[in-house]
Structure 1
Amino acid sequence: MTRILTRAGLVLLTVLIGIYLLLPVLVVVPMSLSNSSFLTFPPGELSLRWYHRLTQDPIWAESALSSLRIALLSAAAAVILGTLAALALVRGKIPFRNTVTAILLAPLIVPYVIVGLAVYIAFLGLGLTETTLGFVLVHTCLGVPYVMINVASGLVTVDRRLEMAAMNLGAGPVSTFFRITLPLILPSVLAGALFAFITSWDEVVTAIFLSGPALTTLPVQMWSGIRVQIDPTVAAISSLALLTIVTTFLLIGLGRLTRKMIRSRAVDTTNAGM
């Protein structure tokens, strides 16, 4: 009985914390449906005028496409570099392992303002400000730690005997990785890719230093919109971004649930056959 009450209490506490964290964000959705020209909550008269304005204003569409392009490219680069770093740290025998790990995790520790200022000073002389390449380089560095942490945790759980068996049967290191290791750590790689994508998509501090008339990301455009004019257009684009993130997490959860159901059916079939 005590164990049931403890579990129920933990579940209730988790739900309350989730509501506490999500409620301020969910307030944005009804604000975006207001007919008022100012941010008001609760909204008086409901309207879709601000969503219609998003479709009519090319600035928002251009900034959203720029953010999507940068996020996809930086997430792909972060997955490659972060996976290689995790392989080197978990499987390899490299000197000064702790020092290398601290350097790779530095983007999580150093304030983004310092990173943005340093990047701006370095990229200004190289002509990489207001360019897709400059954004991708910075956001890749910010996303690598998330991929490395997720992939490293996945590699620790992989049975090394499977890899050794593949090598004993004639597979090389590259073939063993793609045929054995990668399928086993694929959920960790995808989780790291998702974190890297969200980090790039949501990043605004370093993007302010690199943005300009030639290239502006969506978070910077939202920040500029709040500073210049406060209207529900920002709430509308925020609600669309929130809907995209929620849908992504729901699809990931549905995929994991489907895989668990398939595995349980396979186990049941195997037991029935025995």
Structure 2
Amino acid sequence: MQPWHTELLSELAQQVRVVFLALPHEASAELAPQLIAAGLVVFDLSGAFRLHDAEEHERVYGFRRSGALPQQIPYGLAEWTTLSGTESLIAVPGCYPTVANLALKPVLPLLAGTPVINAVSGVSGAGRKAAAHTSFCEVSLVAYGVASHRHQPEIAQALGRDVIFVPHLGNFKRGILATIHAPLKAGVSMDDVQAAYQQAYTKQPLVRLRQQPPAVNDVVGTAYCDIYPVVAQQHLIVCAAIDNLLKGAAAQAVQLANQYYGLASDTGLTQRGGVV
């Protein structure tokens, strides 16, 4: 491990093929074009390239992208993305969008209205910076970014429809638990819902369909997304859980790289505790 210097780029390009960027949004936006120009494949974990619309990106993230970038940048929701192995830049989704989109995409054709997403994240979702409101001993369950969180347009973009999204900060270290509800079309049954999830995820080893609502502890330290749907009063209720630092970040980036190079998507990702 060594500090990054631009003059190291030519040497780096001779030693590696893939770069995982886990940098602030502006830093990734500046560095990724340089890495691509050197012939490297970039999996970017920031929000620099997730939003396709440039004006929406500038509104949400507060800066304008520049530099030579591919015209099409895949949004890497792993279970719903097909990579050809020729892409030079892949945008790795955010943690909240990962759990929300995995929970909702299979059943979108069955919904009759706007999904409402309530999700609680552990304090690691705020990063490592020192702040009183994210100090573990000070944290109280609280909603934040209500009607203004930057992940709302990312979720809506991936689903192709608007959503109501309310994130919460919880007094635990890591993980996300989302509870999502939406009205169903007339005549949709629990059997229809279950069939939709089975069709979408039976062959996806890192999504587990549960028979009871998942707990955060079920997924912490793993690359799994656990999903439990139920129908009540002609509404769909979905409970879904991920580890925000793994399936919501590093593990999904590795999963995408596995797919990029034709490996099984769960290669190196099935041991509890992190990436092998």
Q: TM-score range by the shorter chain?
A: under 0.3
More strand by percentage: 2
Whose Rg is larger?
1
Which structure is richer in relative contact order (CA contacts within 8 A, separation 6 or more)? 1
Normalising by structure 2, we get a TM-score of: 0.22
More helix by percentage: 1
